[in-house]
Structure 1
């Protein structure tokens, strides 16, 4: 069934979906959506929320190398990827704004060397 539906999605995108299929599938909510893209976006928002919680606990920016826990590693890899996408101009402006609003300083992260004394 999934393979068949994938074929109909492709046909709809190409403008080649038969009217009988189009009319029948119109009764199925979300049939023409991209479930993988929706799952990726949900995962992005989940990781952002996890990062907000991680920082709220008083932790420094998560590391993707020399990490102390699996949680820190997961978040470190994720924020590193967001920084790389931002530098290449591939990060959606809405996501940049959301990161700026919820985790200020995300673009710079940790400073090299020892933490500053306060």
Structure 2
């Protein structure tokens, strides 16, 4: 792979483009292939949504519309895909096109969260129920609540706190690793306060854990 492709986008090329130079002009000045320069500029435009407008303004042209007809066609294609498949594209899919659609939707989610989502996108994506939800986060949240229920049931059966070392069963190990992680996050201040309250209510004493059967400290 070309050395410059490994560190795209090239800051110097992006600056030239921002100042109004065309891809072909930049390629001629730096003695690179136009396609190579174009590759860097595609990445730069994805990272900086205002880059194209600055380039157009510096070049003396009218700013390109955003979303462009190509952008809107992309959205319509994704809406059609969701309608046909009955689900949201997944970023872990084995299909490259599906991963690309998932990344596109992720970008729109970030814009929606920041309050910068263009009305054209907002209105179009309204046809896709649940598009703003992060499926992975939703699955992680559901798994967390299942583990809490499982731990509460485990304790109600009369068991001591599950261990993540020297465990007696796969069930104990699974729950032991989970509650150990919650304690670790709590100590570091990384555990959601709402989850702390849920743990306190469902499994009182979870922060202290097992008090008998511990190996003596040296």
Task: Give the TM-score, by structure 1 length.
Answer: 0.84
Q: Report the counterpart of residue 89 of structure 1 in structure 2.
A: 189
**1:1-118 map, 5 Å:** 1-13=101-113, 17-113=117-213
Cα deviation 1:61-110 (Å, max 9, x = unaligned): 10000111111101000000000111111111111111111101101111
Q: How far has the Cα of 1:28 moved from its partner?
A: 1.9
May I ask how many residue pairs the two structures share in their alignment? 114
Q: Which consecutive unaligned segments of at least 5 residues does structure 1 have? A: none
Segment of structure 1 superposing worse, 27-36 or 52-61: 27-36
Q: Which consecutive unaligned segments of at least 5 residues does structure 2 have? A: 1-100
Segment of structure 1 superposing worse, 42-51 or 29-38: 29-38
Tell me the C-alpha RMSD between the 2 structures: 1.8
Segment of structure 1 superposing worse, 15-24 or 95-104: 15-24
Q: 1:29 to 1:100 in 2, by over 3 A?
A: same
Distance in 1 separating the partners of 2:119 and 2:191: 37
Distance in 2 separating the partners of 1:111 and 1:74: 20
Segment of structure 1 superposing worse, 94-103 or 10-19: 10-19
- Higher relative contact order, chain-length normalized (CA < 8 Å, sep 6+): 1
Cα deviation 1:6-60 (Å, max 9, x = unaligned): 3433444455544322211023222112111111111110000000111111111
Could you list the structure 1 runs, at least 4 aligned residues long, displaced by more than 6 angstroms after superposition: none
Q: Report the counterpart of residue 47 of structure 2 in structure 1.
A: none
Segment of structure 1 superposing worse, 71-80 or 85-94: 85-94
Q: 1:30 to 1:51 in 2, by over 3 A?
A: same
Distance in 1 separating the partners of 2:191 and 2:104: 32
Segment of structure 1 superposing worse, 27-36 or 6-15: 6-15
